[in-house]
Structure 1
């Protein structure tokens, strides 16, 4: 199975002590990130991405995102509007504060109408991220069997 992973602006850490240490260092900037995301969403901003994604050789795209107030993060709009994923399968996974996927899967499908958006995505509450390694492993095993 070939895959390309694109995730912005959040990072999900799985592991033991080193992951906790890395996450603790980033938490200081979370408030700034949340405010930036809120401002970008209010303005319907399309932030410039640092580099274009080369997805040519991939059939399956794992698209990771945080659910920001029931919507995609604005840089993901930029990515989906600028990148042609026609003929590819998009498998979304999301972290959230209580809203699951909300309408994000439908939004992805509307921005990439020539792609197949899987209904086998994974939704993880921010409260469960630190203990989600087993859930993620099970999800990936199930996906591998169905692809």
Structure 2
């Protein structure tokens, strides 16, 4: 009995240490990346023409990035909504995993009108190392009508196969360079703004 308790305690300690190491590593990577944007301008100088930002956000982080892009490019913006709300807690993870496994993505309340846009930004959080299923659902149905498309992701640390997954579903579009944004604290807001501006100016 004592041996079993010892093994269980050791397992808990190993998991805890691994979790702390992951958090430390992510924090280090974020600090190193954002350092290169410290003090840089967040001004967008490039004229992209008529711009639309399409995004899905469950927790609000992707919306924050989408709002920043909208402001910097004077774009229209469209937040995707599912026809039925996602469950919470463990059921959410099981639901998403099943959607990805079966490739039966959730129905959406409405699709944006993509007519007449020169550039469309499409943003999604990363779920199970790919794009959130509402965005995959949108891409299955969307015809970009020759527009240029720039993807952006938000994630804890690893975006997995986000980019090949979204580009493989994109129809009638020229794919522009993408960007990714780790979840990080408000102390990095200025650097994040500079990163977004640097990305847009390079498109």
- CA change 1:114–1:145 in 2 (3 A) is same
State the alpha-carbon separation in 2 of the partners of residues 38 and 65 from structure 1: 19
Deviation at 1:9, TM superposition (A): 3.1
State the alpha-carbon separation in 1 of the partners of residues 89 and 122 from structure 2: 20
Partner of 2:181 in structure 1?
124
Deviation at 1:39, TM superposition (A): 1.0
- The answer (yes or no) to whether the contact 1:47–1:75 under 8 Å persists in 2 is yes
The structure 2 residue matched to 1:8, chosen from 52, 56, 66, is 56
State the alpha-carbon separation in 2 of the partners of residues 62 and 139 from structure 1: 15
Deviation at 1:142, TM superposition (A): 2.4
State the alpha-carbon separation in 2 of the partners of residues 5 and 33 from structure 1: 29
Partner of 2:82 in structure 1?
none
Deviation at 1:141, TM superposition (A): 2.6
Q: Is 1:76 matched with 2:132?
A: no
Deviation at 1:144, TM superposition (A): 4.2
CA-atom RMSD in angstroms:
2.6
Larger helix share, 1 or 2:
2
Partner of 1:65 in structure 2?
124
Deviation at 1:95, TM superposition (A): 1.1
- The answer (yes or no) to whether the contact 2:115–2:145 under 8 Å persists in 1 is no
Q: How many aligned positions are there?
A: 129
Deviation at 1:133, TM superposition (A): 2.7
- CA change 1:145–1:34 in 2 (3 A) is farther
Q: Runs of 5+ in structure 1 lacking a partner?
A: 15-29
- The answer (yes or no) to whether the contact 1:59–1:89 under 8 Å persists in 2 is yes
State the alpha-carbon separation in 2 of the partners of residues 137 and 34 from structure 1: 33
- CA change 1:98–1:115 in 2 (3 A) is same
- The answer (yes or no) to whether the contact 1:109–1:115 under 8 Å persists in 2 is no
- The answer (yes or no) to whether the contact 1:86–1:112 under 8 Å persists in 2 is no
Partner of 1:138 in structure 2?
194
- The answer (yes or no) to whether the contact 2:56–2:124 under 8 Å persists in 1 is yes
- CA change 1:89–1:138 in 2 (3 A) is same
State the alpha-carbon separation in 2 of the partners of residues 97 and 75 from structure 1: 19
